[in-house]
Amino acid sequence: MAPDGSFAAIAMENQRDEDVNDGALPQLPAGELLILALKDGAPDCAAIRHVDLTGLATVAPEDPEPEFVNINANGEIAVTLQENNHVVIVDSKTAKVISHFSAGTVDLEGVDAKTDGALAFNGKLAGIPREPDAVKWLGTDRLVIANEGDWKGGSRGFTIFDRSGKVLHDAGTSLEYAIARLGHFPEKRAKNKGVEPEGMEAAVFGGQQYFFVLSERGSMIAVYKDTGGTPELVQLLPSGVSPEGAVAIPGRNLLASANEADLGKDGGPRSHVMIYELAEGEKAYPTILSKDVDGKPLGWGALSGMVGDAAKNDVVYAVSDSFYAMQPSIYTIDVAKKPAEITGVTRITRNGQPAQKLDLEGITQDGKGGFWLASEGDSAKLVPHGLYNVNAKGEIKAEIALPAELLAGETRYGLEGITAIGSGDDLTLWMAIQREWKDDPKGQVKLVSYKPKSKEWAAVRYPLQSTDKGWVGLSEITANGDYLYVIERDNQIGDAARLKKLFRVALKDMKPAKLGGELQVVAKQEVHDFLPQLKSATNGYVLDKLEGFAFDKSGRAFMVTDNDGVDGSSGETLFLPVDLKATN
């Protein structure tokens, strides 16, 4: 409870006339700062003082748009005028403006400024107004703003000023780059404010001043140590979906964030609160990140199918799905590092251009230095179901359409994973189809084989587990030793998740038959339940899309979740080793 004699402050934005006329909001003064004295620990609404903020900003001075406030230990109130690109400092005791200044503009180089289905940090933005949202004091002589932007601006970072308006530090592209390294860059917002820093918090933990920057669209919270000079990025926290506000509780070493997105109607998370604890030990997040290439982050996201390198230790390859439609990619991952590190990328091309109409969901090596890729089709979007053979440079050398006998029963839930058995002329590719097609009995899906040498297609049927909510399907297939391993999962999240498991089928028992005839129903054996690990990795909240699974050369197993390119999701990616011995 705040002591009597202190103050509360409210920034009043302009209201639309229709809001007032419809009775949705009471008539309140707009474009003002309201100062309320505290009585008995609560705001005294009978003692409101008004601070007129008109005439201060260079941008639209007649129409101030106050957004956020923060009060320092001296009772001075910092107010951001977001659309006016301005900051005002008010004395709460006298209700007078002490000072004010423009938030200024920035020039940014090396940013992804195009929403084009690709991650490319090579653009330029000149003279961008910062247009600050949240503001926090760092002591009594400095303040930090989150440069979200609105109509015209948003510099994608944060800025520290002294009380006169002198820039002491500007984040430039550093925050956006840090978020991109963790796979949280929101490509669909690339041309519009990028990671969109919005909320902020500042507090002292154990004698150390910290501040926290909330990326609304990247769904991350950046934790910085305030050094008095260049701040030190300590950690990036996965925030849930769309963090808006945060409150620090230093006495308990806690930080809580409020996340506004409510995706319940689409089967996603509801609006929620996240709680973090400052503690000793290894960071819980991230589990995978990318290295820089020529000083810029190797952007990534939406990891799907995986395969281990058959000749190199500690190397796994993963593909990205159709979210990056103009940049289909194969990522090279060093699994010896913790977190795992994406060390390189191979772009998939057709005739020298980024290959389009691909939804890569599976990858396996071809034994010749290249890869076979499985693409999940969707006829409604003119995306074909198919197999693609690419060389080491990612150039498509062969495109194999699914046969008519198979396509006759197609749905949009197509190929999910591909693996190879044998070599040379004896090479056989096996693919998993995610869900039942029109010609499948309920509760059964196909495992489809293809022999590149003879061009023969065949299949078996695989029995799915049942569920009382949502649907169940396959999301990966990989061969190891005498077995084919498949991931079987439901499409549920959080407490509703029931099925995220690994099963195997003995190769010797598989007798694929020609398409169009009777198909063998194979016997499966449960190998591993991923749910306990998924719960412990997120302290209880289970991510939906367990998409990739692979063995490296030594036989170690790894799994990865698909973060949907941070579109309608938290953006979290879990890349984790899997201990199969514990369940065998």
Q: What's at 87, amino acid-wise?
A: V
**Cβ count within 10 A of residue 577:** 15
Strand partners, 407: none
Q: For the residues 251-273, what does the mean pLDDT come to?
A: 90
Indicate the SS3 state at residue 249. Answer: strand
Going by their DSSP bridges, the two strands 340-347 and 288-290 should be labelled as: parallel
Contacts (Cβ under 8 Å, ≥6 apart) of 211: 136, 138, 144, 200, 201, 202, 203, 224, 226, 231
Inside any domain, residue 243: no
- Average pLDDT value for residue range 316-324: 97
Kindly state whether residue 169 falls inside one of the protein's structural domains.
Answer: no
In a domain, 57, yes or no: no
Torsion angle of the four alpha carbons 240, 546, 340, 254, in this order, in degrees rounded to the nearest 10: 20
Beta strands in 23-166 (DSSP E): 32-39, 42-52, 66-71, 76-81, 86-91, 96-102, 105-111, 123-129, 135-138, 142-146, 158-162
Quick one: which of 369, 261, 376, 388 has its CA closest to 317? 369
Element (H, E) at 211: strand 208-215
Check whether 42 has a pLDDT greater than 80.
no
pTM above 0.85, yes or no: yes
Classify residue 428: in a domain, yes or no: yes
Instruction: Kindly report the average pLDDT of the chain as a whole number.
Output: 93
Does the residue 106 lie in any domain?
A: no
CA angle (402, 404, 405) in 5-degree steps: 105
pLDDT of residue 197: 97
Which positions ≥6 away from 489 have C-beta within 8 Å? 472, 473, 475, 499, 500, 501, 544, 546
Q: Does the pLDDT at position 112 exceed 70?
A: yes
Domain of 377 in residue numbering reads as: 288-293+300-583
Question: What are 221-246's pLDDT values in tens digits?
Answer: 999 999 999 999 999 999 989 999 99
Check pLDDT > 80 for residue 273. yes
Give the list of residues 6+ apart from residue 94 with CB closer than 8 angstroms, or none: none
Domain count across the chain: 1
State the amino acid at position 545 in one-letter form: K
Q: Is 570 domain-assigned?
A: yes
Contact yes or no for 317/330 (Cβ under 8 A)? yes
The residue length of the chain stands at 584
Is the predicted pLDDT of residue 24 greater than 50, yes or no? no
Higher pLDDT, 137 or 14: 137
Q: What is the pLDDT of residue 25?
A: 40
Higher-confidence residue of 48 and 357: namely 357
Q: Please give the angle made by the CA atoms of 475, 479 and 482, to the nearest 5 degrees.
A: 135
- Cα–Cα distance for residue pair 517/487, rounded to 1 Å: 26
What's the rounded mean pLDDT across residues 530-546? Answer: 92
User: Can you tell me the mean pLDDT for 466-486?
Assistant: 96
Which pLDDT score is estimated for 581?
Answer: 80
- Give the residue from 335, 366, 364, 376 showing the smallest Cα distance to 474: 376
CATH, residue 501: 2.120.10
User: In terms of pLDDT, which residue wins out, 227 or 9?
Assistant: 227
Amino acid 534 reads L
Residue 28: pLDDT above 60? no
Q: If pLDDT is split at 50, 70 and 90, which confidence band does 32 have?
A: confident
d(CA 584, CA 581): 5
Residue 517 lies in a domain: yes
| pLDDT beyond 50 at 133 | yes
Phi, psi dihedrals of residue 44, rounded to the nearest 5°: -95, 95
Between CA 155 and CA 174 the distance in angstroms is: 11
In a domain, 572, yes or no: yes
Handedness of CA 473, 476, 480, 484 (dihedral sign): positive
Q: Compute the CA torsion angle 358, 186, 244, 228 (nearest 10 deg).
A: 150
**430 DSSP β-pair partners:** 419, 449
CA distance linking residue 27 with residue 418, whole number of Å: 63
Task: Evaluate if residue 93 carries a pLDDT over 70.
Answer: yes
Q: What is the mean pLDDT of residues 409-436?
A: 96
- Is a pLDDT exceeding 50 seen at residue 340? yes
Average pLDDT over residues 404-425: 95
Backbone angles phi, psi at 257, to 5 degrees: -125, 145
